[in-house]
Structure 1
Amino acid sequence: MPTPDPCDLDGFRRRVLASSAADVVARSVAAARELADLGAFITIADRARPGDGPLAGIPVAVKDNLDTHDLPTTGGTPALARSRPGRDHHAVARLRAAGAAVVGKTNLHELAFGITSNNAAYGQVRNPHDPSRTAGGSSGGSAVAVATGVVPLALGSDTGGSVRVPAAHCGLVGWRPTVGRWGSERAVPISRTRDTAGVLATTVADAALVDELVTGDPVAAAPERRLRLGVPRPGFYDDLHPEVAECVERALDRLADAGVELVETEVPGAHELDAECGFAIVFFEVARDLPAYLATLPGPERELTLADVLAGAATPDVRGALEVAASGEFTEAVYREALATRERLRAAYATALHPSGGERLDALVYPTVPLPAIPVGDDVITEHNGRREPVFQTTIRNTGPGSASGMPAVSLPAGATRAGLPIGLSLEGLPGGDSALLAVARSVEATVGGAF
């Protein structure tokens, strides 16, 4: 199996900076303004200035639920339309310190509480491969900004698949680090247990470069031994769209031909345990974490309550979710039980990846999303394998369980449908194994060759 070179910062800069840093940033700002028809941006910087450092002149975009000191952070919701936190999220600060220029804040599913990026306040984010399809969400705008070449890197956030789903639908790499690895504050929150910032890029090397800049943790070398990837057929490979199934099987065949050992495995009860605990954790925590964030804001938004945000919510499914969170249905006792169930889910992943008496696996491999990007307007129900199925639950079926467990994961391009809609392949590891997982992902990427 090919072993890629280590992350090459100089090579990255040469590839992006074809001319002066200021010119590259100016062109990126201009290109962002031309993306109105795809709905990618909420705010575009009047003048974005590159700093000094290894990323000097590299334009980046930031999802509009991550705080930026010089631009509003709206969370894509009307109640925060004028909120200026005056501070940077940790990942934003680290990229700025490396010289990157933030050219704008990207559109998202309102409050990052959905996966179609159809935001009733700021518009639908459309897929650049087919504008009649969604870009996925909730980090849809960040995905479009990278897929269209406006920026080489964009920050997003991932609670249940919100970086990986749009990466899969737009033909990109989407990196979700272990929860807490990239900091857990200065972002409009959903769930402290599940939220993490992440990055969308065109290659694993670029995503790994960002991870190293944010954390200071260099990416590990790929194992010299034969890679061992677990294939969790039960649940993760069930009821796939036929072209997703075909594409993923081709990718697995390539990996096997390259010498990767594919081990049939399972994560016992993954989807059932996720159903028991995932939403309960989110609804309990957002009712507390969102007001706590609001109280830290420097402007009048610090006086807002959950009820105020709910009253202004523009997107029907988000309003419905906030109503559930505000209802009091998810009590402390329910929450504690959900956390206990989550520990059982984490143990199931540990068993799958480190089987007792067996050789450990380097990662799990599975289709990121069971179906290609869905049509714009299919916000609640969509057609899947001849049936009408719920959009949210179907889309995050594979990304949800690991998200509830706080695990790191990366989605890679694996090819496309005959109509040209991208398909993603995910790798997932245990919490804290981020650098090793990125190294494995680089090797898999070099073999699968599904880049768009």
Structure 2
Amino acid sequence: MPSVQPTGITQVRQQVSSSSAEEVVAAAVQRARDAAGLGAFLSVAEHAESGTGPLAGVPLAVKDNLDTRDLPTTGGTPALRDSRPGRDQHAVARLRAAGAAVIGKTNLHELALGITSNNAAFGPVRNPHDTTRSAGGSSGGSAVAVATGVVPIALGTDTGGSLRVPAAHCGVVGWRPTTGRWGTGRIVPISRTRDTAGVLATSVADVALVDEIVTGQPAPAESGRPLRLGVPRTGFYDDLHPEVARCTERALERLAASGVELVEVEVAGGHALDAECGFPIVFFEVAQDLPAYLATLPGPERGLTLADVLAQVASPDVRAGLEAAASGAVTEDVYRQAMATRDRLRAAYAAALRPADAEPLDALVYPTVPLPPPPLGDDETTELNGRQVPVFLTTIRNTGPGSTAGMPAISLPAGTTGAGLPIGISLEGLPGSDTALLATARRVEAALGPVTSA
């Protein structure tokens, strides 16, 4: 089983300069096979080909709900076990064109409808820092692939926190771009309003490079002015695990010491608005979007219905969610009301980040997840501050509202617990502010310095 030894794109380029790209990629394929004990991969390429370009020789892992032309796309669910779409999702295609080699498809929470990556159909993804703990989800396999140095970059998806939660739990960087920025379609879908592909990496610089390759939009030059970050104490800082609180406050102290201006703000009603509209949007859209995706497949999966997929779902929490979606309880009228509530949520974020009576903020900053990685098997509830809390709703408490609003966000390592479990903090900006947010994240990453225990 590989140790936790992450590596970045620069280090891989150095390896390619002293060896052949084929050898570097072949070594990554072998590392992927060696990671079997962590449950990180669902399929590994027999022979991964590297191209030419800025990522020549760089191995890439892809979450198994993103279509790839040469490997299955299972969505981590039995009904799609043998599905071969024969096409690349937009980000996959752009990274291949830049020279990256897809070495395998990573494990995930079934259908990406959860945050533990405890997949009852294909097995759990285990946290490399403590294999009795969750790696987070739903992009758990991709986070583990980066955290263990199998690859320097891995693609995932994020609907309610599915890139940032495993990034925080595994001690890597997780980037959720603005919804739509990384292309649409060719993803086993949950919600067209909330889904986006994104990337996990070991540094903001690598994330920014990948984002530029995928979108063609380079990050702007960093301004010399001090950063202004909003600290939304209400809701985002409530009821934190003590070690999460310590790591977060230490991070804020470092930022302040480096000259960052920290401004107390409120996303007025943000959590209540998300609770009102987030799930109705997902339940209405997955009932439409998943069958629409199935109809585009070239194989026998083309004839599957939502009921067919549901009949084979293995994970109880995912089954409950799909049953709610299939029930038709969220009518078109309810959905329209939810989308109107979403507009109010977006307005609340805009008011916090662009206040009428003060200078605009560069980003919000908050703990990515209120608690450290929970034990594997805590699928319904887990312990927080001496009581049992719902693991799903607690884990996505901070990442969910911005996801519903379609905002870009990035999770950075902020420290570890006394037991060595990673803790993350997130930066979040308004839709379309991606390149500026990445520039902010680079400055925050530099100010935080090396990660230390709480």
The aligned counterpart of 1:327 is 327
The aligned counterpart of 2:139 is 139
Pair 1:82-2:68 in alignment: no
The aligned counterpart of 1:446 is 446
Q: Give the alignment's TM-score, normalised by structure 1.
A: 0.97
Pair 1:371-2:371 in alignment: yes
CA distance, structure 1, for counterparts of residue 326 and residue 17 of structure 2: 48
State whether residues 157 and 196 of structure 2, in contact with CA within 8 Å, keep that contact through their aligned partners in structure 1: yes
Deviations 1:358-406, CA, capped at 9 Å, x for gaps: 1000000000000000001101110110000000000000000000000
Gap change, CA 1:324 and 1:431, over 3 Å in 2:
same
Pair 1:407-2:407 in alignment: yes
CA distance, structure 2, for counterparts of residue 173 and residue 394 of structure 1: 21
Secondary structure in structure 2 of the residue aligned to 1:150: coil
The aligned counterpart of 1:71 is 71
Secondary structure in structure 1 of the residue aligned to 2:144: helix
CA distance, structure 1, for counterparts of residue 374 and residue 94 of structure 2: 35
Deviations 1:28-53, CA, capped at 9 Å, x for gaps: 00110011110000000011111111
Unaligned runs of 5+ in 2: 1-7
Secondary structure in structure 1 of the residue aligned to 2:180: coil
State whether residues 414 and 449 of structure 1, in contact with CA within 8 Å, keep that contact through their aligned partners in structure 2: no
The aligned counterpart of 1:115 is 115
The aligned counterpart of 1:382 is 382
Residue 20 of structure 1 deviates from its aligned partner by 1.6
**2:60 is aligned with what amino acid?**
V
Residues 104-113 or 13-22, more deviating: 13-22
CA distance, structure 2, for counterparts of residue 58 and residue 122 of structure 1: 27
The aligned counterpart of 1:420 is 420
State whether residues 17 and 57 of structure 1, in contact with CA within 8 Å, keep that contact through their aligned partners in structure 2: no
CA distance, structure 2, for counterparts of residue 264 and residue 369 of structure 1: 19
CA distance, structure 2, for counterparts of residue 280 and residue 17 of structure 1: 51
CA distance, structure 1, for counterparts of residue 25 and residue 325 of structure 2: 41
Residue 95 of structure 1 deviates from its aligned partner by 0.4
CA distance, structure 1, for counterparts of residue 449 and residue 187 of structure 2: 34
CA distance, structure 2, for counterparts of residue 405 and residue 92 of structure 1: 25
Residue 183 of structure 1 deviates from its aligned partner by 0.4
The aligned counterpart of 1:391 is 391
Gap change, CA 1:413 and 1:328, over 3 Å in 2:
same
Residue 221 of structure 1 deviates from its aligned partner by 1.8
Secondary structure in structure 1 of the residue aligned to 2:30: helix
State whether residues 9 and 152 of structure 2, in contact with CA within 8 Å, keep that contact through their aligned partners in structure 1: no
Deviations 1:44-71, CA, capped at 9 Å, x for gaps: 0011111111111100000000000000
CA distance, structure 2, for counterparts of residue 223 and residue 368 of structure 1: 26
The aligned counterpart of 1:246 is 246
Secondary structure in structure 2 of the residue aligned to 1:285: helix
The aligned counterpart of 1:294 is 294
The aligned counterpart of 2:264 is 264
Secondary structure in structure 1 of the residue aligned to 2:447: helix
The aligned counterpart of 2:357 is 357
State whether residues 156 and 200 of structure 2, in contact with CA within 8 Å, keep that contact through their aligned partners in structure 1: yes
The aligned counterpart of 2:340 is 340
CA distance, structure 2, for counterparts of residue 451 and residue 215 of structure 1: 30
State whether residues 9 and 58 of structure 2, in contact with CA within 8 Å, keep that contact through their aligned partners in structure 1: no
CA distance, structure 1, for counterparts of residue 316 and residue 419 of structure 2: 30
Secondary structure in structure 2 of the residue aligned to 1:71: coil
CA distance, structure 2, for counterparts of residue 143 and residue 310 of structure 1: 27
User: Kindly, what percent of the aligned residue pairs are identical?
Assistant: 75
Residue 112 of structure 1 deviates from its aligned partner by 0.2
State whether residues 174 and 201 of structure 1, in contact with CA within 8 Å, keep that contact through their aligned partners in structure 2: yes
Residue 167 of structure 1 deviates from its aligned partner by 0.1
Gap change, CA 1:450 and 1:321, over 3 Å in 2:
farther
CA distance, structure 2, for counterparts of residue 11 and residue 442 of structure 1: 19
CA distance, structure 2, for counterparts of residue 352 and residue 180 of structure 1: 23
State whether residues 43 and 71 of structure 1, in contact with CA within 8 Å, keep that contact through their aligned partners in structure 2: yes
Gap change, CA 1:64 and 1:340, over 3 Å in 2:
same
The aligned counterpart of 2:317 is 317
Gap change, CA 1:451 and 1:57, over 3 Å in 2:
farther
Gap change, CA 1:9 and 1:156, over 3 Å in 2:
closer
**1:383 is aligned with what amino acid?**
E
The aligned counterpart of 1:4 is none
CA distance, structure 1, for counterparts of residue 60 and residue 72 of structure 2: 16
The aligned counterpart of 1:48 is 48
Q: Give the alignment's TM-score, normalised by structure 2.
A: 0.97
The aligned counterpart of 2:183 is 183
CA distance, structure 2, for counterparts of residue 115 and residue 186 of structure 1: 22
Residue 19 of structure 1 deviates from its aligned partner by 2.4
The aligned counterpart of 2:172 is 172
The aligned counterpart of 1:98 is 98
State whether residues 413 and 450 of structure 1, in contact with CA within 8 Å, keep that contact through their aligned partners in structure 2: no
